Amino acid sequence: MGKVAIIGVGQSAFVRSYPGSIRELVFEGFKEAMEDAKISTKDIDASVICSAPEYDKQRSPAGVFAEYLGINPQPTLYVETLCSSGSTGLRVAYSLIESGLHDVVAVIGFQKMSEISSAESQERMGRGADIQWESPFGTMMPAYYAMYARAHMETYGTTLDDLALIRVKAATYGQINEKAVYRKPVRLEMFSDPENRLSGTVASPVRVGDCCANADGSSCVIVAGEEKAKAVSQKPIWILGIGAASESVNLAGRNLFTGFTAARAAAREAYSMAGIGPKQIDVAEVHDCFTIAELMAYEDLGFAEPGEGRYLIQSKQTYREGTIPVNLDGGLLSKGHPIGATGGSQIRTIVLQLRGEAGSAQVDDPEIGLVHNIGGVGLYGNVTILGR
């Protein structure tokens, strides 16, 4: 197989309420990525737009963005796999380049969630489940993940403090990420203080502090074939492995509630393609929409055995100085989760780490990084392995 590389990455600041239009929001991530790649719009052969629909009124946003960004008449596609849309977009771009159809593809993710209320947003997220058999009964993301948290606790003895420690880590790095929406410190004792809003129950055992925040934001990843990448980039980051899988949308069709089978399958595929195992990963970004999601990711990715992910966070092995640093940009918990932009933002973080450009969050000389991006409640699993 030929090589495919990432030659440019960009991201807007993630904010609670972006004042401009969705096309202006997308431009911010695109502009940064293009400047990073040092190419012009004439070099873009195709674009892949990634988001979850129904948060804004624009149908078929791909055409709107292609015009606004000046990349017509090149083809543009629109892809959606809920929260993992950005990683799915990268998979599509990789395929377009590997097939020989295109040489340079821009993967653009966005979401402007502030255009609807929090209640409406929760209802949209709930419709990511089966609208015939589940979502009409009021199931929403916190409740779904609360079931997984409860199962993990009952099976392995995981505690509320274990989950809170993940949020403490997220805040540690969110404070130093200028693009994060939540940049306040979080201490473990806040979760036991009834006067602190982080301790409030959302869906037992999930508390406010266990949940990520909605946000507006955009991201962009510029992907190129080997020849082009070597010609234009001094630090191309190569896609070594790219795995994806899906799971039953209805929880009644599942037999595992302490992890995500789609994530495990995607990880196996990515590791196999890259020819490595979990111990070769130097730095990772995982989908921490809830604290339990990060804990399960440790185990689904093979960083820890099932039930032993809590020991990684207890001993700070997932901090920058640890054996497997995870979410050193604050993760979704601190950075925010503008659904379609999340995957591209995760990829950007790992690219900067592998280039040695992550500032005060930089890991010591990483060679291989991993991105784990989940859509829905484990419905879609995406794992991407990158190397310098």
Q: Please say whether the beta carbons of 31 and 10 come within 8 A.
A: yes
Catalytic hit among 152, 287, 337, 372: 337
If we measure between CA atoms, which residue out of 233, 228, 238 comes closest to residue 43? Answer: 228
Catalytic hit among 50, 83, 211, 220: 83
For 246, counting Cβ atoms within 10 Å of its Cβ (0-12 exposed, 13-18 middle, 19+ buried), the class is middle
Which phi and psi angles does 218 have, rounded to 5°?
-140, 160
Q: E strands, 83-185, where? A: 104-112
Instruction: Say how far apart CA 104 and CA 206 lie, in whole Å.
Output: 42
Instruction: Say how far apart CA 233 and CA 231 lie, in whole Å.
Output: 6
Q: Please say whether the beta carbons of 263 and 293 come within 8 A.
A: no
Q: Is the peptide bond before 306 cis (omega within 30 degrees of 0)?
A: no
> Is 220 an active-site residue?
no
> Is 337 an active-site residue?
yes
Instruction: Say how far apart CA 219 and CA 25 lie, in whole Å.
Output: 9
Residues 6 or more apart whose Cβ sits within 8 Å of residue 136: none
Instruction: Say how far apart CA 9 and CA 221 lie, in whole Å.
Output: 5
The pair of three-digit structure tokens given for residue 125, joined into one six-digit string? 């997220």
Helical residues (DSSP H) of 14-75, grouped into ranges: 22-37, 61-69
Q: Please say whether the beta carbons of 267 and 280 come within 8 A.
A: no
Residues 6 or more apart whose Cβ sits within 8 Å of residue 334: 170, 171, 173, 174, 175, 177, 180, 181, 182, 183
Q: Please say whether the beta carbons of 379 and 41 come within 8 A.
A: no
Active site residues: 83, 337
